[in-house]
Structure 1
Amino acid sequence: MMWSSLLLLSFLMGVVEVQGASDFRICAFNMHHFGDSKAKKNDVMQIIAKIITRCDLCLLQEVRDSKGTAIPQLLDRLKSYDSTHEYKAVVSERLGRDTYQEQYVFVYRTDTVTVTGQYQYPDDLPGDIDAFSREPFVVRFRAPKTAIKEFVLIPQHTTPSNTTKELDALYDVLQSVRKMWKTENVMLLGDFNADCGYLAKKNRKNVRLITDQNLFWLISDSTDTTVRSTTSCAYDRIVVHGEKFNSEIVPDSAKPFNFQLEYRMTEEQALDVSDHYPVEVMLRVTSSRSFFSGATSLTNTPVLQKMLQSSLFVLCHRVFQMVLW
Structure 2
Amino acid sequence: MRSSSLLLLSFLMGMFEIQGASDFRICAFNLHHFGESKSKKSNVMHTLTRIIARCDVCLLQEVRDSKERAVLVLLDRLNRYDTKHVYDVVASERLGRSDSYQEQYVFVYRTDTVTLTGHYQYPDDQKGDVDAFSREPFVVRFKAPKTDIKEFVLIPQHTSPANTTKELDELYDVLQHVRRMWKTDNVMLLGDFNADCGYLAKKNRKNVRLITEKNLFWLIADKTDTTVRSTTSCTYDRIVVHGERFARATVPFSAKPFNFQMEYRLTEDQALEVSDHFPVEVLLKGAGTKETQTKLFSLFILSHLVFQMLTW
TM-score, structure 2 normalization: 0.88
> Aligned partners of 1:230 and 1:129: how far apart in 2?
37
SS at match of 1:96: strand
Who is 1:39 aligned against?
A: 39
Q: 1:163-242 residue pairs with structure 2 within 5 A?
A: 163-242=164-243
Who is 2:308 aligned against?
A: none
Change (3 A) 1:172 1:20: closer
In 2, are the aligned partners of 1:29 and 1:276 still within 8 Å (CA)? yes
Q: What is the deviation of 1:144?
A: 0.3
Who is 2:274 aligned against?
A: 273
Mean alpha-carbon deviation: is it higher for 126-135 or for 34-43? 126-135
Q: What is the deviation of 1:153?
A: 0.3
Q: What is the deviation of 1:297?
A: 7.0
> Aligned partners of 1:155 and 1:69: how far apart in 2?
22
> Aligned partners of 2:227 and 2:196: how far apart in 1?
11
Q: What is the deviation of 1:21?
A: 7.0
> Aligned partners of 1:134 and 1:234: how far apart in 2?
20
Q: What is the deviation of 1:296?
A: 5.4
Instruction: Name stretches of at least 5 consecutive residues in structure 1 with no aligned partner.
Output: 312-325
In 2, are the aligned partners of 1:22 and 1:286 still within 8 Å (CA)? no
Q: What is the deviation of 1:138?
A: 0.3
Who is 1:248 aligned against?
A: 249
> Aligned partners of 1:298 and 1:221: how far apart in 2?
37
Matched AA of 2:76? D
> Aligned partners of 1:138 and 1:209: how far apart in 2?
17
Who is 1:161 aligned against?
A: 162
> Aligned partners of 1:297 and 1:192: how far apart in 2?
40
Matched AA of 1:134? R
> Aligned partners of 2:280 and 2:248: how far apart in 1?
19
Who is 2:122 aligned against?
A: 121
Q: What is the deviation of 1:124?
A: 2.9
Q: 1:66-77 residue pairs with structure 2 within 5 A?
A: 66-77=66-77
CA deviations 1:212-232 (Å, max 9, x no partner) are: 000001111110000000000
Matched AA of 2:151? E
> Aligned partners of 1:243 and 1:205: how far apart in 2?
22
TM-score, structure 1 normalization: 0.85
> Aligned partners of 2:262 and 2:98: how far apart in 1?
37
> Aligned partners of 1:108 and 1:24: how far apart in 2?
11
Matched AA of 1:23? D
CA deviations 1:142-188 (Å, max 9, x no partner) are: 10000000010000000000000000000000000000011000000
> Aligned partners of 1:186 and 1:34: how far apart in 2?
27
Who is 1:131 aligned against?
A: 132
CA deviations 1:100-136 (Å, max 9, x no partner) are: 1000011011111111111100023342221000000
Who is 2:60 aligned against?
A: 60
CA deviations 1:201-257 (Å, max 9, x no partner) are: 000000000000000011111100000000000000000000111011100000000
Change (3 A) 1:270 1:144: same
Q: 1:259-298 residue pairs with structure 2 within 5 A?
A: 259-287=260-288, 292=292, 294-295=294-295
SS at match of 1:179: helix
> Aligned partners of 2:67 and 2:38: how far apart in 1?
13
Q: 1:279-318 residue pairs with structure 2 within 5 A?
A: 279-287=280-288, 292=292, 294-295=294-295
Who is 2:309 aligned against?
A: none
Change (3 A) 1:297 1:195: farther
> Aligned partners of 1:118 and 1:96: how far apart in 2?
19
Who is 2:310 aligned against?
A: none
How many residues are treated as equivalent by the alignment? 296
> Aligned partners of 1:278 and 1:207: how far apart in 2?
24
Q: What is the deviation of 1:14?
A: 12
SS at match of 1:124: coil
Q: Structure 1 residue 84 and structure 2 residue 79: aligned? A: no
SS at match of 1:25: strand
In 2, are the aligned partners of 1:88 and 1:108 still within 8 Å (CA)? yes
In 2, are the aligned partners of 1:95 and 1:133 still within 8 Å (CA)? yes
In 2, are the aligned partners of 1:15 and 1:295 still within 8 Å (CA)? no
Instruction: Name stretches of at least 5 consecutive residues in structure 2 with no aligned partner.
Output: 305-312
CA deviations 1:256-306 (Å, max 9, x no partner) are: 000000000000000000000000001100149x7x56345789xxxx9xx
> Aligned partners of 1:192 and 1:296: how far apart in 2?
40
CA deviations 1:46-81 (Å, max 9, x no partner) are: 000010010111000000010010111000110111
Question: How well do the aligned residues superpose, as a CA RMSD in angstroms?
Answer: 2.7
Q: What is the deviation of 1:15?
A: 5.2
Matched AA of 2:239? I
> Aligned partners of 2:19 and 2:126: how far apart in 1?
46
